[in-house]
Structure 1
Amino acid sequence: MSNQQQEKETLPASGGESLQPAGQRVFDAILKAIYEQRIRPGTKLGEEALASFFSVGRGHIRRALLALSHQKVIELIPNRGAFVTKPTEADARDIFSARRQLEELVVERVIAKADPATVKALRAHLLQEATARDKGQRREAVRMAGEFHLTLTRLSGSKVLYGILESVLSQSSLIVSLYGGGLTSSCSVEEHQGIVDAIERGDAAGAKELMGHHLTHLESTLRLDDYDIDEPDLDYIFG
């Protein structure tokens, strides 16, 4: 298949946009950088710089940024450009409040349909998460910690919950990046383990309580101060 034919194929992006492969690649790279806390809230993402870095046309960049704005992780400001969303203290409180309610519902749904394959998938994820932490692979550990929550939501079988929580989690990653001291993960593998243990026992009340405590602990690590924003280093962000 030629490159031109590949460019005409479309792939679904989160946020309701349909992107061609080049735009999807940009979308995925930016979202991954947000999940791994490599890109700071408030950072300006210039179309020209991104187009040059990814070797794609500016039209692909614009469509990727538009899709990300639907995820609430990019803010498009007329006559100024695209900026990574910079959540306020009130935003942070609201996001974590929403996460608690959503994720307690998620674990309830997972338990209602859990089988040995569900528990096996969760334990496999926990192993990857622990391995990344133990090897000092900070980016991977941060990414895997966030993906634990998406994996749970996927296993709930609810596309609606998955779509909502995907957006909430990406915003949560920005909050932790801004107020949590940079590239760290306050998500504890042991706390995730406790949630999975409760799911395996079929203990819905216990799993919901553990999830609530887990997210409250994560929120308690935030330092609700402000930070200066430097010029973005695209090699670091997307390298």
Structure 2
Amino acid sequence: MDVSATSTVFNAPIPSKGHEMANDEIYQRIQVAIMERRLAPGTKLAEERLTEATGASRAKVRQVLSRLAHEKVVTLIPNRGAFIARPTTQEARELFTTRRLIEPGMVDLLARQVTPAQVRTLRRHVAQEQEARNANDLRRIIRLSGEFHIHIADMVASSFLPRIMRELTALTCLIITLYDKPNTPACPHHEHRDLVDMIEAHDSAGAKQCMLDHLLHIEHALDLDSTEPAPPDFDAIFKHDEI
């Protein structure tokens, strides 16, 4: 799939001559498009289309693609270009292991120091998630579900942790797209609300367990038991058999 719908991904008029998107904006819009499943695993990110849609130079586009490749969200293939990554089942398991190491500690810390304003922010977000479910707006549901976790990171840190969570969330969306089981919700709708309840009550132990259970539920809703296809045995294919 080529990124022929780049103008849809960037959701903005083609920039006028002399105006171009900044690197961070291009980066963020690609991440959001992944979270909304508008850029699927394997999609080619053609430099020419990206420069047309953003008004940015090829040099800037390449910088963004290199950054995304460093984060394993994009795969760069020599002489072919950049493609949205297709994480393997092993990489998916490693990602959830990483999230289970990080996120229970995040909510533990937030539950100890949360402010009323932060609780209101989280409750507004959960309400937006419910509105998206009521409207059966799958793209918005997926994006908001990921952003909930990013909000928590933003509330407990200002630098490294939010950046890491954005990377992990984008990769999680790719994994859900690839391995989601039919008719199985990857993110049970009530668990974010329950988590906010525990954070507001300053129940740090309960919040930690709730986050751990939540991440396990997401992982278990995916089909990660399939084995990766073995590489083709070209020696066997082209072996000269005597007749």
Q: TM-score range by the shorter chain?
A: 0.7 to 0.9
* Higher mean C-alpha deviation, range 149-158 or range 90-99: 149-158
Residues 93-108 of structure 1 mapped to structure 2, 5 A cutoff:
93-108=93-108
Conservation of the 8 A alpha-carbon contact between 1:36 and 1:140? yes
Task: Give the equivalent residue in structure 2 for 1:157.
Answer: 157
Query: Scaled by the length of structure 2, what TM-score is found?
Result: 0.79
Correspondence 1:26 to 2:26: yes
Conservation of the 8 A alpha-carbon contact between 2:186 and 2:221? yes
Conservation of the 8 A alpha-carbon contact between 1:145 and 1:185? no
Query: Scaled by the length of structure 1, what TM-score is found?
Result: 0.80
Task: Give the equivalent residue in structure 2 for 1:176.
Answer: 176
Residues 39 and 134 (structure 1), Cα distance of their counterparts in 2 relative to 1, 3 Å cut:
same
Residues 8-47 of structure 1 mapped to structure 2, 5 A cutoff:
21-47=21-47
- 1 or 2 for the larger relative contact order (CA 8 Å, sep ≥6)? 1
Structure 1: gaps (5+ residues): 8-20, 228-239
Residues 112 and 90 (structure 1), Cα distance of their counterparts in 2 relative to 1, 3 Å cut:
same
SS in 2 for 1:189: coil
Residues 63-102 of structure 1 mapped to structure 2, 5 A cutoff:
63-102=63-102
Provide the rounded CA distance (Å) in 1 between the counterparts of 2:31 and 2:166: 11
Task: Give the equivalent residue in structure 2 for 1:121.
Answer: 121
Task: Give the equivalent residue in structure 2 for 1:137.
Answer: 137
> What code does the residue aligned with 2:35 have?
Y
Provide the rounded CA distance (Å) in 2 between the counterparts of 1:141 and 1:22: 27
Question: How many residues end up aligned between the 2 structures?
Answer: 212
> What code does the residue aligned with 2:32 have?
K
SS in 1 for 2:127: helix
Residues 181 and 56 (structure 1), Cα distance of their counterparts in 2 relative to 1, 3 Å cut:
farther
Provide the rounded CA distance (Å) in 2 between the counterparts of 1:195 and 1:22: 36
Measured after TM superposition, the shift of residue 163 of structure 1 is: 1.8
**What whole-Å deviation, never above 9, does each CA across 1:77-128 have from its counterpart, x for those lacking one?**
2222111111111100000011111110110111121121111111011111
SS in 1 for 2:190: helix
Measured after TM superposition, the shift of residue 56 of structure 1 is: 4.2
**What whole-Å deviation, never above 9, does each CA across 1:16-64 have from its counterpart, x for those lacking one?**
xxxxx35444322211111112222222222123334445443332222
Measured after TM superposition, the shift of residue 3 of structure 1 is: 6.2
Provide the rounded CA distance (Å) in 1 between the counterparts of 2:50 and 2:196: 40
Conservation of the 8 A alpha-carbon contact between 1:142 and 1:185? no
Q: Calculate the aligned-residue CA RMSD, in Å.
A: 2.5
Which protein is richer in helix relative to its size? 1
Larger radius of gyration: 2
